Amino acid sequence: MRKIALLLAMAGTIALPVQAQGISPTQTDIMKKLIVQYGEKAKAEASKNAKGKPFAAEEFSAENGRQIYLMSRNWEGDEMPACAACHTDDPKKEGTHNQSKKPIKPLAPAVSPERFTSVEKVEKNFSKHCRDLYSRDCTSMEKGNFLTYLLSVK
């Protein structure tokens, strides 16, 4: 009996939240909508650049997004703290603000139902955190890759 009670308790604390969650249709809709928008903007940004080539949203890469999430260099090659400095190396884990030490709910939509439910909030956080790290907003290419990576985290 004790063993069963223990198993049930464990199921309640560990197995259930994981099974009951998972990315919601709202989160998928919002993230896909943003990816299409960033794709359009990335195309426009590329056409302004002489070296730019035509670009489609499907070309965003989860691997490039993962590099942005983890890397400690920005696109200009300067040494920088990465998104992982606050959001941890694993977007499914709870983060800690590197200065205030306040907890930050995981960024991965697969485990955080309230993430990526508001376009405005995503835009605001992107601008703020990219400026904090790189002293500029992220490009549409970076944002598209970043969201593609987070969508791929199961």
Told to check if 129 binds ligand HEC by CB under 6 A, we report: yes
Residue 48 parent element (H or E)? helix 25-48
Compute the distance between CA of residue 114 and CA of residue 106 in angstroms, rounded to an integer: 10
130 is an interface residue for ligand HEC by CB under 6 A? yes
Which one, 43 or 87, has the nearer CB to ligand HEC? Answer: 87
Cα–Cα nearest to 142, from 54, 50, 71, 49: 71
85 counts as binding ligand HEC under rule CB under 6 A: yes
Give the C-alpha distances (Å, rounded to integers) separating 122 from 5, 8, 46.
Answer: 42, 37, 23
Q: Give how far Cα 50 sits from Cα of 41, 57, 104, 136, 143, Å.
A: 16, 20, 40, 21, 21
> Residue 83, interface with ligand HEC (CB under 6 A)?
yes
- Beta carbons of 145 and 64 less than 8 angstroms apart: yes
133 binds ligand HEC (CB under 6 A): yes
Q: In terms of CB distance, is 39 or 91 closer to ligand HEC? A: 91
Question: Does 43 participate in binding ligand HEC (rule CB under 6 A)?
Answer: no
Residue 10 vs 106, nearer CB to ligand HEC = 106
Interface residues toward ligand HEC, by CB under 6 A: 81, 83, 85-87, 97-98, 104, 107, 115-116, 121-122, 125-126, 129-130, 132-133, 146
